[in-house]
Amino acid sequence: MTPPVRSLDDFFPTYLALLEAGDADGLGLLYAERAVLTSSGGPEGTTWSVGRDEIVAGLAAALGDFEVVVEVPSTEPFEIRGDLAGRLGTFESTIRPRAGGPETRLTVQAFEILALSPTDGWQYLSDQSRVLAVTTTPGRPT
């Protein structure tokens, strides 16, 4: 069970640890029960997940297909207004197909809105991303 994240400074490190571990259920706890997760332009095409159950299912499918090699967070700070936080930032993610194949680096612009719950800590209300660039590393000759 993922403990609630009480500090925004701890949110990304917690998210990253769960992502690298392939823990879709743990990641799901970082999303509010009625959160929305969208993505466009990536290897999975355009996806929409509404509600934690759909988000966990989508994350589990993506993490079943791809391994996260490295994730470089956005350097944009969150703007905080009471118990809400938001930012528009760009991050880099390098993934590798679990079935084999070359690594792919994604440059992603994300618009994130989080809310602080007294019981559940910081959680995404909305996590919307758009892949700006895809770079595939050629495989090594055999």
Query: Which distant-in-sequence residues (6+ apart) come within 8 Å of 59 by Cβ?
Result: 24, 27, 28
Give the mean pLDDT of 98-104.
93
pLDDT digits (tens, 9 = 90+) for 30-77: 999 999 999 998 777 888 999 999 999 999 999 999 999 999 999 999
| Domains within the chain, CATH numbers bracketed | 8-133 (3.10.450.50)
Give me the pLDDT at residue 140, please: 55
Sign of CA dihedral 15, 21, 27, 113: positive
The model's pTM: 0.91
